[in-house]
A = this chain, B = another copy of it.
């Protein structure tokens, strides 16, 4: 019987598993708002369909859709993708959706974080975000899973875990006044620890250059397995990303994880600098209450923003000369996974990539 639990996951013996642990499936949201997604969302919808199709080769995919796009989404998505009505203000399931925790006896529960659209009225990515903030509750209700309401403004894209007690995040994001200005770093650490069951938090300074999320870690680096991290990289010292990746590299190399291991860090060279074209920018609605995305703006392209499905990796590709090297390196880091590259520029134009639009539901039962 689903209900809101007043204790914390750690107190109840739950922890957030690593993304490579077994999934029951993957959740996504359907893109449509015309101030985020060009041409009325149609190119992005095709890209989301392709992402869903590829993920559904490995695990069940559930697509949440606003009511006015339900029939269109149902018509465009493969039959094996479950389509549910799930109102949202935009399509970033990683950030507004539930985070799941498991225990040692197969139990599964959800965490509903506070969501303020990456900075509330300070940042004004868009307004309002009331439906996004209900997404986590609604997905957990559909699954009849108990949930915790965590007293922390946070997005799923701002954390990565190794499943063995270690969490990666960035100071730029989780210490930004956009989220929890009343909480000290120690308070934030305590809440992450209580809700995710982690013992060690590795703070990296900054995320990817021009990342709209205040530097989410999931565009910068991730665990490939415990003790092993993949990091977006450039060898071009004149690129503003260079110092960001270099300082993250130094922080990772000097860190120890929750079990006292040092980390092995694998550099994944970023795509060549990508910018929004004039034609792309002109496809966006101009709306005062939404983040401006002008032509010529640098896009926060990174191969790190992939999704790990059961036995497969869905990897961003940019028709870039670094695409193949990224595929090869990720394949080396995930020898048990099939690597599926998909063209994700249309997702990137909206401000994120494949990891940002997905959320794994671990295997487990209520």
Considering only CB atoms, which chain B residue lies closest to A86 in the complex? B85
CA distance A71 to B135 in the complex (A): 12
Q: Which residues of B contact A4 (CB under 8 A)?
A: 79
Chain B min CB distance to A118 (Å): 22
Copies in the assembly, this chain: 2
Chain B min CB distance to A97 (Å): 14
Q: Which residues of B contact A138 (CB under 8 A)?
A: 70, 84-85
Contact pattern, A 79-112, Cβ under 8 Å of B = 1, otherwise 0: 1101111110000000000000000000000000
Contact A79/B3 with A67-B131, A131-B67, A142-B142 known, Cβ cut-off 8 Å:
yes
The answer to whether B85 touches A2 (Cβ under 8 A) is no
The answer to whether B141 touches A82 (Cβ under 8 A) is yes
Chain B min CB distance to A124 (Å): 23
Q: Which residues of B contact A60 (CB under 8 A)?
A: 144
Q: Which residues of B contact A85 (CB under 8 A)?
A: 84-87, 138
Contact A74/B137 with A85-B86, A142-B142 known, Cβ cut-off 8 Å:
yes
Considering only CB atoms, which chain B residue lies closest to A4 in the complex? B79
CA distance A79 to B141 in the complex (A): 10
Contact A142/B82 with A67-B87, A134-B71 known, Cβ cut-off 8 Å:
yes
Asked whether any CB of chain B lies closer than 8 Å to the CB of A1, the reply is: yes
Which of A84, A141, A142, A144 is most buried by chain B, counting CB atoms within 10 A of its CB? A141
Q: Which residues of B contact A82 (CB under 8 A)?
A: 2, 141-142, 144
Name A1's contact: one of B3, B79, B84, B142 (CB within 8 Å).
B79
Chain B min CB distance to A312 (Å): 17
Contact pattern, A 119-163, Cβ under 8 Å of B = 1, otherwise 0: 000000000000100100110011010000000000000000000
The answer to whether A84 touches B134 (Cβ under 8 A) is no
The answer to whether A142 touches B84 (Cβ under 8 A) is yes
Q: Which residues of B contact A134 (CB under 8 A)?
A: 70-71
CA distance A141 to B75 in the complex (A): 13
Q: Which residues of B contact A84 (CB under 8 A)?
A: 84-85, 138, 141-142
Considering only CB atoms, which chain B residue lies closest to A68 in the complex? B87
Name A67's contact: one of B1, B67, B79, B137 (CB within 8 Å).
B67
Chain B min CB distance to A147 (Å): 11
CA distance A4 to B86 in the complex (A): 21
Considering only CB atoms, which chain B residue lies closest to A83 in the complex? B141
Chain B min CB distance to A137 (Å): 7
Chain B min CB distance to A33 (Å): 15
CA distance A84 to B79 in the complex (A): 21
The answer to whether A80 touches B131 (Cβ under 8 A) is no
Given contacts A3-B79, A82-B142, A85-B87, 16 further A-B contacts (CB under 8 A): A2-B80, A3-B80, A4-B79, A67-B67, A67-B131, A70-B87, A70-B138, A71-B134, A74-B137, A74-B141, A82-B141, A84-B84, A84-B85, A84-B138, A85-B86, A142-B142
14 examples of A-B residue contacts, CB within 8 angstroms: A1-B79, A2-B80, A3-B79, A3-B80, A70-B138, A74-B141, A82-B142, A82-B144, A83-B141, A84-B84, A84-B138, A84-B141, A85-B86, A85-B138
In the A-B complex, the 3 residue pairs with the closest CB atoms? A3-B79, A1-B80, A67-B87
